[in-house]
Amino acid sequence: MDLFSEIEEPEREELRALRKELEEQNYKYYVLNQPTMSDQEFDRKMHRLQDLEAMFPDMYDASSPTQHVGSDLAVTGYGLRVTGKGFEQVKHRYPMLSLANSYSREEIEDWVQKLPLNAEIVCELKYDGLSISLWYEHGVLMKALTRGDGQQGDNVIDNIKTIPSIPWRIERNDIPEWFELRGEVLLPWANFERLNKEREEQEEPLFANPRNAASGTLKLQDPREVARRGLEAYLYYMLGENLPGSTHFERLDTARQWGFHISDAIKVCKNVDEVMAYIAYWDTERKNLPVATDGIVLKVNNLTQQEELGYTAKTPRWAIAYKFPAEKQLTLLKEITYQVGRTGVVTPVANLEPVQLSGTMVQRATLHNEDFIRQLDIRPGDRVWVEKGGEIIPKITGRENREISHSCAILAPLSDYTFPTTCPECGATLVRVEGEAAWRCPNEAGCPPQIKGKIEHFVSRKAMNIDGLGEETIDLFYQKGLLKNIADIYDLKAEDIATQERLGEKSAQNILDGIEASKQVPWSRVLFALGIRMVGETTAKKIARKYNTIDALQWATAEQLCTIEDVGPQIAENIVKYFEDIRNLEILERLRQAGVQMEGEAEAAPTSDKLAGLSIVISGTFAQHSRDEYKAMIEANGGKNVGSVSKKTSFILAGENMGPEKRKKAEDLGIKMITEEEFLEML
């Protein structure tokens, strides 16, 4: 090997390593929804790979990450593409490419210099969700494709139809025979917080950000669950033949007139100064939006100029994205403490020197599990980088170089780190199930946080709904020896309650009334209330449809349980183990003796999809059926009952004496109100 070959070899190795690393990151981002690299770091490495490939043209590879977009299609261990969990795969009529990213005014200026002189630029918000392509034929929505690998995507039309703002049919005479609209599917902040709160209560892994949640939701097999989560969509590009308008802005305005959800935050700019003013405004104002954004998209307005500029292998030359920098701060990790959850999961928590992020003071952040801590190599005494994931959830993303941070005398000495081997609450030896990241305390019957957590879950609104038994009261009753498990609730006496601190006869009666009312809670909610690991509210309903008595469920095998929709091997095993524990059987018998519903009518699955994806509010009084009967009709036809009016409401079933506040809000939001007769005609 000559001298020049020896010099080149390390750079060739770097090229190979970068290709492998970036392909892995694409898989984590698009398929697993678990990115481990920031966008800016990814782009930096991609640019380095492009430079190396230019340096060594003999190493050209069509499968390099520089030559294709990332894919949300599933991939086998052998690199073969497979269908996404049963979804039909369809070839895109026009490839769905990604956008090149920029991070500074200089990079935007470089892009503008390559455009035709005085080209108009349309500025739009860059929504942080999942790309979607909607195909309309003769005004009817026929397909809804994910980006996939850019050449073909998964047809998720049944799930897309649950999004109220996406029309299924357009009744107009001025639309082409076929056209395509592209956009972004998102999970609004409010729905993201609600979903994560539900998952936290079930001790399921939290979604890191709304994009991950939206991506996971759109690939679910149950459109009813998709509808319950509440996705939204913003559309931003129209394709097809013989389309109206000669500019991108005109076409978006046309799409808005046709009834599509187009953002109002779109502006035509004449120069870079106007573009930067738009960026500066939305860098602050985006924090008030109901959905997540991570930047600005710039597009050449004139469609003829777009066509002339064309495309690279993976990006259009007529568009570019500007990415907002993540807000992060450097602060001291003072100590790591541990929380024990209802199912025994031990979660490490970072206790930080207070630091302000996105307008709030952050002092604590989850560290997830032992593997996460070791991956970042952080310990008490380090100075760590803290970001707000999706600007809501504080997260630690790395640490400062220790040679720098610990040269400062004010920092605490760096301590060695080892994950505890015993429960910080009860002292039991922790266990770690093979294949799981979490350590658990196995002492379910003797670990205080687990005992109290199970009781709190049992009495919660979506479970047994027992008023008066909040977290503080449960803790008090536990300390006094009145509550050691959920069955003890039904042994509480008025004198036991009334004599406790901060309580009295009225409080005692309210609690006892709530306990008595809980005996009428239906079997599916009782099953959810038992707190069997990974059996959430929706899963409990599906299990209750199959096994409508506790006795039938007790003797079900794991194989039989796995035939139920959404019940996999792990959930089935958790159910079987629950009924193998004699302590649980004793508690169940006491609940039965107390009068808790341990059986019920098998819940009927929807008989039609006439109301699928619709969120319906019932208000007022009715002549032909009761409110409960109408609620049952809505569920039987695939719809969703909701209690309050919002812009997500599909329509209101309005009876006599409808509440004035609901009527006013509906009128303000433009929500349709239909009569009892109109509703029955729909069905």
- pLDDT tens column, 144-187: 999 988 888 999 999 999 998 899 888 888 899 999 999 999 99
**Average pLDDT over every residue of 252-265:** 93
- Summarised one tens digit per residue, pLDDT across range 558-598 is 999 999 877 888 899 999 999 999 999 999 999 999 999 99
Beta-bridged to residue 337, according to DSSP, are 349
Whether the predicted pLDDT of 76 surpasses 70? no
Whether the predicted pLDDT of 2 surpasses 70? no
Catalytic residue among 28, 45, 114, 126: 126
- In this structure, the dihedral spanned by the alpha carbons of residues 177, 182, 187 and 190, taken in order and rounded to 10 degrees, is -80
Whether the predicted pLDDT of 654 surpasses 80? yes
- Strand order through the sheet with 88-91: 88-91, 152-155, 140-146, 130-137, 178-186, 232-239
Residues of the chain with CATH 1.10.287.610: 3-67
> Tokens 């397909």 identify what position?
143
pLDDT at 62: 64
The DSSP call for residue 673 is E
Say if residues 344 and 450 touch (Cβ distance below 8 Å). Answer: yes
Q: Give the C-alpha separation, 296 to 181, whole Å.
A: 19
pLDDT at 149: 81
> Tokens 């007139």 identify what position?
257
Beta-bridged to residue 319, according to DSSP, are 299
pLDDT at 258: 93
| 448-594 has CATH 1.10.150.20 classification | yes
pLDDT at 281: 93
pLDDT at 83: 37
What are the percentages of helix, strand and coil residues in the chain, rounded to 5? 40, 20, 40
pLDDT band at 680 (very low <50, low <70, confident <90, very high): confident
Q: Domain 3-67: which topology? A: Helix Hairpins (1.10.287)
Residues of the chain with CATH 2.40.50.140: 328-405
Is 388 marked active-site?
no
pLDDT at 342: 87
Q: Domain 615-682: which topology? A: Rossmann fold (3.40.50)
pLDDT band at 277 (very low <50, low <70, confident <90, very high): very high
Q: Which H or E run contains 672?
A: strand 672-674
**CB-facing half-sphere around the CA of 541: CA atoms within 13 A:** 11
Per CATH, the architecture of 328-405 is what? Beta Barrel (2.40)
Say if residues 186 and 291 touch (Cβ distance below 8 Å). Answer: yes
Q: Give the C-alpha separation, 314 to 303, whole Å.
A: 19
Whether the predicted pLDDT of 39 surpasses 80? no
The DSSP call for residue 632 is H
Q: Domain 87-323: which topology? A: D-amino Acid Aminotransferase; Chain A, domain 1 (3.30.470)
Residue of 107, 94, 37, 104 whose CA lies nearest to 65:
37
Helical segments of 248-406, H only = 248-257, 272-285, 303-309, 370-376, 402-405
- Summarised one tens digit per residue, pLDDT across range 525-567 is 999 999 998 898 878 988 998 898 999 999 999 999 999 877 8
Higher model confidence: residue 35 or residue 642? 642
Residues of the chain with CATH 3.40.50.10190: 615-682
pLDDT at 50: 81
pLDDT band at 608 (very low <50, low <70, confident <90, very high): confident
Residues of the chain with CATH 3.30.470.30: 87-323
Length of the chain counted residue by residue: 683
Helical segments of 436-493, H only = 448-459, 471-479
pLDDT at 309: 94
Residues of the chain with CATH 1.10.150.20: 448-594
- Summarised one tens digit per residue, pLDDT across range 368-422 is 888 889 888 898 989 999 987 544 568 888 888 876 655 554 444 555 678 999 9
pLDDT band at 63 (very low <50, low <70, confident <90, very high): low
